[in-house]
Amino acid sequence: EEEEGEEDVYDTPDAREIAALEACEDIEEAVGGLARRKLRCDAVLAGLVRWDNCARAAEFLRAWEESEPQFGCDLELCFEAVPRIKLKSQAEMAKAGAIVGLTFPEADEEYIQTYAGEWDPDEIGEREKQAFMEALEGASMGTANDDA
């Protein structure tokens, strides 16, 4: 079901709008301003990966998910969004992993392995996947993972 000329989700107006919200002092207000907007999880995650502060990005993602948006942003949807965002580097993948890990610290290891196992290796290389997983695990345990 691959469409030709599929837009790069990383750089859509929605993603740019979410990226710009980092300047917003009040996360709840930023989320409130997006209420009733049909933002997909991939656009939200694509915007948040551009934030410098992963903890604030995770706070936004949690608040967005709790606002019961039309399109959710739960753990599974975040994993499905990662390949669609087409993150180019290990650093971006690590940032996405950290945001997801901080947003869902209670995430079940088995689910995480299952969701990541569904990624197409042609879309996400092994090193990028490892960067994501290590950042996710480090974030969800609240520690930098040194013994990897």
Query: Which residues does 17 contact at the CB level (< 8 Å), separation at least 6?
Result: 47
Q: Which of 87, 84, 42, 91 is nearest to 64 (CA)?
A: 42
In this prediction, residue 141 carries a pLDDT of 81
Q: What is the CA radius of gyration of the chain?
A: 14
Question: Which tokens sit at 128?
Answer: 């990028």
Element (H, E) at 129: helix 126-140
What does the alpha-carbon distance between residue 90 and residue 121 come to, in Å, rounded to a whole number? Answer: 14
Q: Which of 10, 16, 18, 45 is nearest to 136 (CA)?
A: 45
Q: Which of 109, 124, 119, 37 is nearest to 73 (CA)?
A: 37
User: Mean pLDDT by 10-residue block, N- to C-terminus, for the chain (148 residues)?
Assistant: 52 91 92 86 94 96 89 92 91 96 92 94 94 93 50
In this prediction, residue 8 carries a pLDDT of 65
The reported pTM is 0.87
Question: Which tokens sit at 136?
Answer: 């996710």
